[in-house]
Every structure is written in structure tokens, then in C-alpha cells.
Amino acid sequence: MRYQRVCLEALGYTLPSEVVTTDELEYRLAPIYDRLQLPHGRLEFMTGIRERRFFPPGTAPGSIDIESGEKAILASGIDRQEIGALVHGSVCRDFLEPATACKVHHRLSLSADCMIYDISNACLGILSGIIQVANMIELGQIRAGLVLGTECGRPLVENTIKRLNEDESITRRDIKSLIASLTIGSGSVAVLLCAEDLSRAKNSLVAAKVLAHTDHHQLCRSEGLESFMHTDSEQLLHAGIATGVATFSQFLEEVSWKSDELDKTICHQVGVAHRKLLFDALDLDPANDFSSFDRLGNTGAVALPLTLALALEADHMRANDRLALLGIGSGINCQMFGIRWQESRVLGQLERADRKRLTLHSIG
């Protein structure tokens, strides 16, 4: 998929204030650690994740969507009435019916002509939404679109800890399928795309490439964040890297770039082993990458775009950079994007005037 008139205009994000360290989680896992004689520090050593964040218990994802969406709109400077599509793409949602996007649409005071819906594609839900909105913009159906999501990982992590401590039938071998559940964190992000003639930032979406290796769909599955996530982490890691390698070569052809022409990369955030193997397999320089998993954990569908937002705040990008977004999710699905970067517009921490404006729209 190639694009000539789509720009990634702005991002907004919201992080929970509560920080939970991996060290703290391991102290809570003392019953099973003692029973199976597992060494303290094992989880952080295996994953590279030292902490993650959680929203308060009972937080509705849509309520945080509203804050992140408003930030993206403020950062863009685009009239909200120009937004012709709103997509909620995280794993977590308020309810099955109606779409979580309905509440967000109402609270953001968007146009009645705006197409609104939820999309589900595991850790690639927001990226899938970006492709759909970009296609609508390229076709001239809409002028701008907002893709957002919020992951609330607390229930999954806490339920996993409870099960590990209480189920005395769990063995060292059994614990492997539940380790991935302990890497989950929380966060929220919104991505605003628009037509080139409406853009001020001029960050041109050049191309996108998708690839599905669904013969591996059984390697990671969950019935919901209130339940448990069963993951064959080792097989998922190697199958995911293989899918990433296959996608990357096709992506470079689609975007008409060479590997050594990439200036910056942002990848899905899983852990230290995944990052090292992926960059070795793709022969990419980790110095050009920006990661967040060490302090945020795996934040599901928001992980890659949230990390992009944090990279922009850290001045990771420069004008004319060739940026590759490398998404790999369970299924196994892979989605990669090429963007010619120009100007960063991102809003995370709000100034007082902006917070007042956001609050007025949120209660409207």
C-alpha cells in the first residue's frame, strides 16, 4: 500500500501515575517463588522490564481515550469538525455494545458525519486502524481521522499473580506460559492523520506493508484481560521474528528504501530478548531505535504508537528522517509503515489552559 496524500499529523498520550516495579511483583509472587525455588530477579532478567504503570481499578478505557484524543487534536491544531473517522483499536474496551468509540466520539464533540467503530487485532489494533483511516484519506473520502486506544493491564497481571500463588499444581514448566502476562502494562495513545493539504507537520506516510502467518495463531491466546493469557513464549518469539524478517524485505520494496537508508525505527514493545533478536535478524542498528518496554512493559496495541509519542518528546526524530514503524502481533500478524518525518507534534503533559479546554470538552 503506497500513499501520496496522507500525513501523520499529531499524537496525544496519557500515562497512569501509579508505577509498579517488577521487584514489587516478585515480592508478591513469594509463595510460588519459594515453592518452586525460583530466584528473585528472574522476571526482570528475562524480560528487561523493570517497571510498568497501572490505571486505577475499574478505569474505563474510553474515559482515557477521551483525554488522549483531545491531546492529539490540540497538538494538531486541526478543527475537530474535519475529523471524518474515529477508531478505537486497543484490546481493552468499555463494553462489547455499543462501540467504545461512540462514547469517545460524543465526549470529543466530533461531527455527526464522522464514521466511528472499534477494531480488534491484538497488539496491532491501532496500527490496523491507521491503515484503514489512511486508506480513506488517500481515497478522498475523509480529510482527517483519529485512531486511539487505552490498555488497562492491571486485571490481567493481578489475576495471574493470584493464580500462580494459589494453584499449587503449577510447575516450573507450567509457569512459562503465564510469564508474558506479568509483562503487561497500561497506557493510552491517540494518532491523528490528515490529508497533505490540511497538514502543517508534513510527516508523509509513504507506504505500509502487511503479512499474516496465521498458521501460528494458537501461540498466544486470551479470553480477555479479566482472564488469563496463555503464551508459548519461545515459539511465539521465533515465529514472530521469522514473520518480521519476511515482512521487512517486502516492506523495503514497497517503500522503495534500502535497509541502510532507514534513519529511525520504532518497534512493538515486548522485551529485551525480542528486541535483540529482531535487530540482529534485520541487521538494523539498535542505536537508531527508541524503546519503552523497560519502564512501561508491554502495553498491547498502544505500545508502538505510544513509544513513538515518547520518542518525539525526546527529540529522537529529525527533519527528513526515514522512519520505519515495525509492528509484530499475535496471530501472527505483521504491519510495517514507512514515514518521511518533518515536524513532531505531540502532547502528553498538559499546560493549564489546555487542561481546562480538555475538561470542558470531556464534560460536554
Q: Is 350 helix (H, G, I), strand (E, B) or coil?
A: coil
Buried b (16+ CB within 10 A) or exposed e, 34-50: eeeebeeeebbebbbbe
Q: Is 166 a catalytic residue?
A: no
Q: Are 323 and 305 in contact (CB under 8 A)?
A: no
The total number of residues written for the chain in this structure: 364
Catalytic residue among 97, 168, 223, 226: 97
* Cα–Cα distance for residue pair 299/293, rounded to 1 Å: 8
Contacts of 90 (CB under 8 A, 6+ apart): 61, 125, 126, 148, 149, 150, 151, 188, 300, 301, 302
Catalytic (active site) residue 97: yes
Alpha-carbon gap, residue 25 to 86, rounded angstroms: 36
Closest CA to 312 of 6, 7, 13: 13
CB atoms within 10 A of CB 237: 18
Q: Select from 5, 261, 264, 48 the least CA-distant residue to 140.
A: 5
Strand pairing of 18-21 and 51-54? antiparallel
173-186: string of b/e by CB count within 10 Å (b at 16+)?
eebebbbbbbbbbb
Cell (9 digits) for 266: 520504532
Q: Which residues contact residue 41 at a Cβ distance below 8 angstroms, ignoring those fewer than 6 apart?
A: 23, 26
Would you say 6 and 136 are in contact if contact means Cβ atoms under 8 Å apart? no
Place of cell 501460528: 216
CA distance 149 to 67: 11
Residue among 102, 123, 220, 267 flagged as catalytic: 123
Dihedral of the alpha carbons of 125, 130, 131, 133, in degrees to the nearest 10: 120
Enter the C-alpha cell of residue 164: 500462580
| Residues with active-site annotation | 97, 123
